């Protein structure tokens, strides 16, 4: 699909499940060299099956354990990648975490955990990737998996919304610093996507119906639909795209409550006709 991705070296953090797993498998389809990062051993089986898929598609893959919120672990992740594949072309800071807690009850460590994984982890990953790109004089690509909650407030998820809002300006600021070296940095912001993590809530009929109310396309998205955007943004076809966010959300960020105005407009027009 995107021929220039063949042979490129891509790190995907949080590749053991959900959107990260779909990205890893799609980069495999492009015959890329994929480094699947994970933190928890419970993702081992899923990762082994992704690695098989990638290799069967003609790509290469290794898995590297690292806690992306720790600088030493990130350095180990990049170093292992470069030792194994010789270089780094694409860094995808995808690992994320969310848990609902009302703000007035949120312990500091819960606030900190989400900020550490979602924001500090992406900062450390992006910083280390930029250093590697500068060292190699390479026009590398950095993508961050953000969220529609980089602009939509989310009650009970103040730490998550703060982390994603921060990730937006972090990405834009870094892009402004490094675009001059040909380094492209962009965010992908998914809306409601079915993954291992969200499957349960979206199979609850009430939650599902409430969620669909907020989506003009009236569909919950698939991880593959997000991963497709990562392939495109990482490819040379996106060569002039710097410092932007692509929302993959069925229109969720587009003020769906205003869909009611479609009716209002036609009623108003009828009234006018009858005057």
Tokens of 18: 């959900």
* Least gap, CB of 214 to ligand BGC (angstroms): 8
Catalytic, out of 160, 178, 181, 255: 160
**Rounded-to-integer distance, Cα 85 and Cα 77, Å:** 12
Instruction: Single out the segment in contact with ligand BGC by CB under 6 A; choices: 47-55, 80-88, 142-150, 238-246.
Output: 142-150
> Does 149 engage in binding with ligand BGC (CB under 6 A)?
yes
Q: What is the DSSP string of 41-60?
A: GGGHHHHHHHHHHHHHTT-E
What's the min distance (Å) between Cβ of 198 and ligand BGC?
A: 5
Binding track over 190-229 against ligand BGC, x by CB under 6 A: -xx-----x-------------------------------
Q: Which stretch binds ligand BGC (CB under 6 A): 20-28, 105-113, 144-152, 234-242?
A: 144-152
User: Does the annotation count 255 as an active-site position?
Assistant: no
Q: Output 80 or 147, the one with its CB closest to ligand BGC.
A: 147
Task: Please tell me whether residue 98 binds ligand BGC under the rule CB under 6 A.
Answer: yes
Nearer to ligand BGC, 132 or 146 (CB): 146
Name, in order, each residue with C-beta under 8 angstroms of 7's C-beta and a sequence gap of 6 or more: 31, 32, 33
Residue, CB closest to ligand BGC: 147
Looking only at residues 48 through 87 of this chain, which bind ligand BGC when binding is defined by CB under 6 A? none
Using CA atoms of 92, 64, 53, 86 in order, give the dihedral in degrees to the nearest 10. 70
Closest to ligand BGC by CB, 29 or 150: 150
Give the one residue of 78, 148, 230, 248 binding ligand BGC; rule: CB under 6 A.
Answer: 148
Q: Angle formed by the axes of helices 223-234 and 18-29, to 10°? A: 50
Query: Residue 109 burial by CB count (10 A; 0-12/13-18/19+): exposed, middle or buried?
Result: exposed
Burial class (CB in 10 A: 0-12, 13-18, 19+), 38: buried
CB 217 within 8 A of CB 198: no
At its nearest, how many Å lie between ligand BGC and the CB of residue 120?
A: 18
Smaller CB separation from ligand BGC, 140 or 256: 256
Closest separation between CB of residue 148 and ligand BGC, Å? 5
Q: Are strands 90-93 and 9-12 parallel, antiparallel or unpaired?
A: parallel
> 174 or 192: whose CB is closer to ligand BGC?
192
Q: Of the two residues 88 and 229, which places its CB atom closer to ligand BGC in the complex? A: 229
Please give the Cα distance from 170 to 146 (Å, whole number): 11
Structure tokens at 187: 């965010």
* Distance separating alpha carbons of residues 199 and 139, to the nearest angstrom: 37
- Which residues of the shown chain bind ligand BGC in the complex (CB under 6 A)? 98, 147-149, 191-192, 198
Catalytic annotation, residues: 160
């Amino acid at each position: 699909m995107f021929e220039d991705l063949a042979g490129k070296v891509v790190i995907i953090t949080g590749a053991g499940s959900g959107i990260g797993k779909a990205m890893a498998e799609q980069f495999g389809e492009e015959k890329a060299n994929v480094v699947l990062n994970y933190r928890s051993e419970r993702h081992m089986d899923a990762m082994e099956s992704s690695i098989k898929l990638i290799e069967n598609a003609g790509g290469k893959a290794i898995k590297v354990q690292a806690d992306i919120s720790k600088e030493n672990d990130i350095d180990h992740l990049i170093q292992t990648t470069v030792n194994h594949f010789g270089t780094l072309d694409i860094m995808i800071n995808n690992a994320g975490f969310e848990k609902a807690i009302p703000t007035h009850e949120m312990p500091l460590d819960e606030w900190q955990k989400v900020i550490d994984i979602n924001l500090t982890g992406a900062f450390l990953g992006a910083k280390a990737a930029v250093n590697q790109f500068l060292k190699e004089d390479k026009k590398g690509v950095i993508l961050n998996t953000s969220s529609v909650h980089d602009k939509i407030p989310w009650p009970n998820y103040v730490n998550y919304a703060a982390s994603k809002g921060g990730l937006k300006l972090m990405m834009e600021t870094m892009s402004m610093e490094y675009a001059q070296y040909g380094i492209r940095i962009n965010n992908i912001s998914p809306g409601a996507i079915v993954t291992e993590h969200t499957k349960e809530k979206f199979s609850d009929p009430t939650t599902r119906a409430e969620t669909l109310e907020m989506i003009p396309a009236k569909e919950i998205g698939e991880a593959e639909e997000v991963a497709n955007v990562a392939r495109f943004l990482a490819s040379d076809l996106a060569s002039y795209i710097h410092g932007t966010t692509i929302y993959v959300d069925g229109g969720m960020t587009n003020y769906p409550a205003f869909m009611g105005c479609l009716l209002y407009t036609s009623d108003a027009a009828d009234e006018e006709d009858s005057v």
